């Protein structure tokens, strides 16, 4: 990925990792379009920054994505980078029969949303110079948190989907996976200040350093997520699963 001169679309750009990356990528010399459900949050992200724009996107709706794509390409036909960052994380209890509303919403937002958006932009991106798709997954794609089973599953699925995209679009579109660790954002209640989670600024600094490497790594892995990414390969999966879930429980209840 070239470090500047891109026109970048980033979903979930109104808060958290999406907002932080959007602002840093803009400040690095890129035109950035942030997309999300809430116009006021998007406006806060772009405030005071020239060449930064906002478009409302209903990531849950196929019709909404089709309408968004038409508006996006009509206004910003030079888009050459797509960052699929929008996502939700819901706690579930698999120990008993329960309502699946949260699970279904998670699949729609975290899995179907990126698949639909990538599909809607593929014909455009393959015609662009220096085209890139970055899919944001999670360390939990590799070692699951037992309280967020559907979230883990969607991120594992996007990891696999990203590998396939990389092979199919080789030589046409650069495909990158960004797998965050636990970061201090508003993804879940109280997470912004949760002890033991990586501060957002530190995470963003590491990501930007990796993204500007030439060539850019196909997987953007900050130091804190590597123990999850390579747990199975290193023969430490069971141990890591136990430690991860004990840490998460203590962090939420401490």
SS3 per-residue string spanning 109-146: HHHHHHHHHHHHHHHHHCCCCCCEEEEECCHHHCCCCC
13 to each of 133, 167, 182, how far by Cα in Å? Answer: 16, 28, 18
Local structure of 67: helix, strand or coil: helix
Task: Judge whether 54 and 34 are in contact, CB under 8 Å.
Answer: yes
Nearest to 51 by CA among 71, 67, 65, 32: 32
The question of whether 151 is a catalytic residue gets the answer yes
Catalytic residue selected from 76, 151, 161, 197: 151
pLDDT in tens, the chain (254 residues): 999 999 999 999 999 999 999 999 999 999 999 999 999 999 999 999 999 999 999 999 999 999 999 999 999 999 999 999 999 999 999 999 999 999 999 999 999 999 999 999 999 999 999 999 999 999 999 999 999 999 999 999 999 999 999 999 999 999 999 999 999 998 988 889 999 999 999 999 999 999 999 999 999 999 999 999 999 999 999 999 999 999 999 988 86
Pairing, β 132-136 against β 7-11? unpaired
Task: Judge whether 133 and 125 are in contact, CB under 8 Å.
Answer: yes
All domains in the chain, ordered by first residue: 7-253 (3.40.50.720)
Local structure of 69: helix, strand or coil: helix
Q: Quote the pLDDT of residue 131.
A: 98
Q: Quote the pLDDT of residue 186.
A: 87
Q: Quote the pLDDT of residue 251.
A: 87
d(CA 57, CA 199): 27
């Amino acid at each position: 990925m070239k470090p500047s001169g891109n026109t970048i679309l980033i979903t979930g750009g109104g808060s958290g990792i999406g907002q932080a990356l959007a602002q840093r990528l803009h400040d690095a010399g890129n035109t950035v379009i942030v997309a999300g459900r809430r116009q006021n949050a998007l406006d806060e992200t772009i405030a005071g920054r020239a060449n930064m724009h906002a478009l409302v996107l209903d990531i849950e709706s196929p019709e909404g994505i089709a309408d968004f794509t038409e508006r996006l390409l009509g206004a910003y036909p030079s888009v050459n980078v797509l960052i699929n960052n929008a996502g939700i994380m819901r706690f579930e209890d698999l120990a008993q029969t329960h309502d699946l509303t949260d699970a279904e919403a998670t699949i729609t937002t975290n899995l179907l949303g990126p698949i639909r958006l990538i599909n809607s932009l593929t014909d455009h991106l393959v015609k662009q110079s220096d085209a890139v798709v970055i899919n944001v997954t999670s360390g939990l794609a590799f070692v699951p948190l037992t309280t967020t089973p559907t979230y883990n599953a969607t991120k594992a699925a996007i990891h696999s989907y990203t590998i396939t995209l990389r092979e199919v679009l080789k030589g046409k579109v650069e495909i990158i996976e960004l797998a965050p660790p636990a970061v201090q954002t508003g993804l879940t209640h109280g997470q912004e200040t949760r002890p033991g989670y990586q501060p957002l600024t530190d995470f963003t600094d590491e990501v930007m350093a990796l993204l500007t490497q030439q060539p850019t790594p196909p997987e953007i892995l900050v130091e804190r997520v590597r123990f999850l990414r390579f747990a199975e390969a290193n023969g430490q999966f069971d141990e890591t699963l136990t430690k991860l879930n004990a840490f998460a429980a203590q962090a939420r209840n401490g």
